[in-house]
Structure 1
Amino acid sequence: MRILITCMLLTIVYCSPVQAQDGTYIDLKSCYRWSEATFNLQGQKEWITAATEEAIDKVNASWQPKLSLNAQATYQSDVVGLPIESPLFNIPALDKDQYRATLDIQQLLYDGGAMRQQKTLQQLQSGLQAAQTDVSFYSMYRQIDQLYCAVLLARNNQLLILSSLKDLEARKQQLETAFQNGAATQNALHQLEAEMLKVEQMLQDARYAEQGAIDALAVLTGKPLTTTVQLLIPEVELPASTDNLRPETALFERQLALTEAQREFASSLNLPTISLFGQGGYGRPGLNLLLNDFEAFYIGGIRLSYVLWSGGGKTHEAAVYQIQQKQLRQQQENFLLSTRSQASRQLSEIRQLEAAIAQDAAIIDLRNQILTTSALTLENGTGTAADYTRDSNAALQAKLTRELHTIQLMLAQLDYLSTIGKTK
C-alpha cells in the first residue's frame, strides 16, 4: 500500500513565507543521519568493537608463556635431619634460616577449549552491546519526526493566516471607505480590527512554534538550522509487509544467543588442562635438602590438571541461564504482541485521518461559500462586521484543521513505520 502525503503540503516548499534565499533544502532522512553523527552512534559501535578486540587479545595472551620471578627467605622451627651418629663420618645439621630465588616459566598446551568459548562469549557480548546502542538511539528518530512535522505545520499555518490577514485587510479598507461615507459604524470597524489583532496573534504563535521546533531540531542534528532553511516533504510509503524489524527484535535475539552460549559453557564437561613448566633457581638448600650450601638448581616437566568434582556449581549455573532464556523468550513474545497491537491501532488512526481530510475539503468549500456570501452582504450593507469576522474565523479554522490533519497523517504514518522498525 502506497500512501503519499497530500499535494497541498507542497505549498510549504514553494510558497512558504520563510523560504530560504540561498536555496538550502533538507529532508527527513538527512536529519536522521546528522543526529546519528551528533550522538556519535557509529563511534559508540567502534568503541564496542575495539573493546572486544582488546578482550579477545587478552584471552589469546593466555597462550603466551608466563614468566615469574620469586624470592623468599624463611626461618623454620625444624629442618630435615638424619638421626644417625657414627664415629666414622659427621652429618652436618641444616640451618633453620633458608633462602631461595627462582625464575619460573609455564606454557599452556591444552585448555579443553575454554579460551575458544571465552572468545565466542566476548563476540556475542559485543553484538549485544551494539544492539543495545541501536535500541537506546531509536527513540531519537521519533523526536526528529515530531519536530520536523511541527515545523511543517507551523509554516503552513503561517501561509493560511497570512492569507486570512490579507483578506481582512481588504475588508477593512472597504469598511473604512463605507465608514467615511456614513454607510458603516465605528463599532463595525473596531470589530474587524479586533479580529485582525486576533489573527495576528495566531501568526505570532505559529512563528514562535516554528522557531522552537527549528531550534530543537538544530540541537538534535548538530546543524546550524534557522527558519530560512526549506524542509522537503517526505514521501511516506507504508510497506505491505508488517514484519517487525525494530532494533529490540535484534536485541532479544542477541540476548538469547549469549545466554545459550553461556548455558552451553556452563553445561560442558570439565576438561583437563596440560602445560609445560620449568624452574631455575639459586638458594640454600637447593634440590639436595641435605646439602647445607648455596647452589643453583633447575627443574622442568609437564603438568596435567583435572577438576574431578566442583560441588555441582556448573550445573546450577547452567540452570540459571536456562531460566533466563525462558524469561527472554516471554519478554520477546510480549514485545511482539504489544507492537503488533500498536501497529494495528496506528493503521486505524491513519484511515481515520484520511477520511477526516476528505471531509475537511468539503467543509472548507462550504466555509468559503459562506464567507463569500458574508462578504457580499457586508459590502451591500445588509450584513454586519461581526457576522463577517465570525465567518472569516470559521473559514480559517477549517483550513487550519485540514493542515493539522494532514500533518497528523504524516506523523501517524511515520509512527507506524517506527513501530514496525522501518523508519529508515
Structure 2
Amino acid sequence: MEKKIMKQAALLLLLVLILALPVCAVAASSGYGSSSTAGISSGHGGGVTLIDRRMMNELDAKRHRTISVESVSLQAESSKLSLLILFGGVVVMVGVGVGISRTRFFADLNIGGKLATGFGTVVLIGALLGMGSYYFMDTINNDYDAALGALDLDMMASEIGSLEKDFIIYGIQDNARGEKIAEEIKGLVAEYTGDLATMNNFGLSSQVNREIDRVRGNVAEYDKTFADLVEYYHQIERDKETLEELSHTMGRELAEVVHAHEAELDAIENASRIDVGQLKLQTKMVEELFEAELRVAMIGAEEAEFLLDKRIARIEPMERLLGELVGHLAVARNLIPQLTTSQAEQAADLRMLAQAEREVQEYIEALSETIVAELRVEADLVDAREELAHIESLASGIANHLDGEAESSKEQANMLMIVMMLLAAAVGTVIAFFVTRSITA
C-alpha cells in the first residue's frame, strides 16, 4: 500500500512537471535570441539546427525593415511655346498676305479675281479655326482619358492591396477561399499590366512614360513576390499538417512504450526477490522514455507559440528540446539490450524506438521547412507591401499630374481659341483692307 501511494505521488509530481515546464520554457525564451534551460537537464542530445543563423538574421532584419515609398517628380509643361508658334504663324500669314497683295500678279487681277482671293482667304481662316477647335477638343479628350486611365491604375492598386490583406488572413485558414483570393489578385495584376500598355497609346510626355516604366517594373516585381508568397503559404499548410500528425503519433507511441515499461517495473518491484540491477535499469528506462514523451509535449507547445508570434527567440529552445529528445531516445535504445526481457520484447522495443527516431527526423525536417517558410512569408509580405506602396504612389502621382495637364490643356485651348478668333478677325480685316484698296486703286 505504501509503494502504491509513493507511485501515485511520483506520477502526480511528473504531471505537474509536464504542465509547468512548457510554461517555464516559454517564459525563459521571452528575450530576443535567448534560450530556455529552466528545469531541464542538458546532459542529453546532440546539436539540432533548424535554420542557418545567417539566414535567420537576414530574414529577420528583412521582415522588420522600414518600408520606403518612391515619390513622383513630374514638372508641368509650359504652354508658352504653343503661343509663340501661333503668333509666329499669324505674323507669317499676314506678311505673306500683304506681300501677295502688293505683287504685279495680284494687281493685274480683275475685280472678280481679287474678290475671290479675299473671300477665299476668309474661308481659309474659318477652316483653320475649325481645324484648331477640333485639334484642341481631341487634345483635351486625350488628356482626360489618360488622366482617367492613371486614376484607374491607382484604384486597382488599392483593390489589390485590399485583396492581399484578405489573403493574409484567410490564406492558410481557409484554403478554398485563399485560392480564390489569390486568383483574383493574379487576374488584377494581369489586367494592370495590360492597362499600363494601353497608357502608351495616349502619346504622353517622356517624363510621364519614365514614371509608367517605373510602375511597370514594380508590378513585375510584385507579381513575382506574390507568387512566392502563395507558394510559401502552401508549403506552410502542408508542413503544419505533417507536424501535427507526427507530434500526435510520437506522443501516442512513446506513451505506449512508457506504459509497457512501467508495467515491467511494477513486476520487478513486486517480485519475491528484487533484482536491484534490473530495477535500476528499468527505472532508468522509464525515466528516459518519460523525458522523451515530455520533450514531445514541450516541443509542440513551442511550435504552436512560434506559429502564432513568429519570434525567432523560440527557435533555439526548440532546437535544444529536439536535441534532448534525440538523446533520450538514444539512451533508451542503448538500455534495451541490458534488460532481462525476452528477445521478442526487446526487438519490438527497438523497432518502436527506431520508428520514433525516424519520426523525430521527419519532424525536424518539416519544422525546419516551416520556420524558413514562415520567415520568408514575413519578409515577402514586407516586400509586397513596399512594391504595392510604390505602385500606388507612382500611379497616384501620374494621375494627379495628368489631371492637372488636362485642366491646363482645357484652359490653354480656351485661351488659344479666343486668341485665334481675334487674330482671324484682325487678319480678315487686314486682308479686306488691302483687297478693297487694290480694287479701288
Compute the TM-score of the two structures, normalised by the length of structure 2.
0.29
Query: Which gives a bigger RCO, structure 1 or 2 (Cα 8 Å, sep 6+)?
Result: 2
Compute the TM-score of the two structures, normalised by the length of structure 1.
0.30
Counting helix residues as a fraction of each chain, which structure ranks higher? Answer: 2
